[in-house]
Amino acid sequence: MTDDNNKTLDTSGPGEDWNPEPAPDKFASDGDLPLVLNATEVADLLRVSYRVIITMAKEGEIPAFQVAGQWRFSRSAILKWIDDISNELYDPVMRTI
């Protein structure tokens, strides 16, 4: 399968935004994250595409705000959101998967 530019697309994964490769150790620890992250940094952290993060921000699915039309993400809000989502997913009472 090719895109509009005749570039071969990899369709072997479960979805176009799925990334089976481990994320690079761009951030060795939470302390290495900037106080305010951009969409690319959040995408790297969550191992999803930039487009997924922008869509989630627009739909209010992830804590985000805009500065001069650019989506930004508070480090503490994103880390809390990850923790909250993780607890929700693995809480035996609230299990959603």
Task: List the single range of 2-16, 22-36, 48-62, 76-90 with lowest mean pLDDT.
Answer: 2-16
Range 34-90 has CATH code 1.10.10.10: yes
| Burial class, 92, CB count within 10 angstroms (exposed 0-12 / middle 13-18 / buried 19+) | exposed
DSSP lists the bridge partners of residue 72 as 38, 65
What is the C-alpha separation between 83 and 6, in angstroms, rounded? 41
What is the C-alpha separation between 9 and 24, in angstroms, rounded? 22
Share of residues in the chain with pLDDT > 70 (%): 61
Alpha helices in the chain (DSSP H): 39-46, 50-58, 75-90
pTM of structure: 0.64
What average pLDDT does the segment 30-44 reach? Answer: 91
pLDDT tens per residue across span 51-96: 999 999 999 999 999 999 999 999 999 999 999 998 877 766 655 5
CA angle centred on 48, ends 81 and 80, rounded to 5°: 10
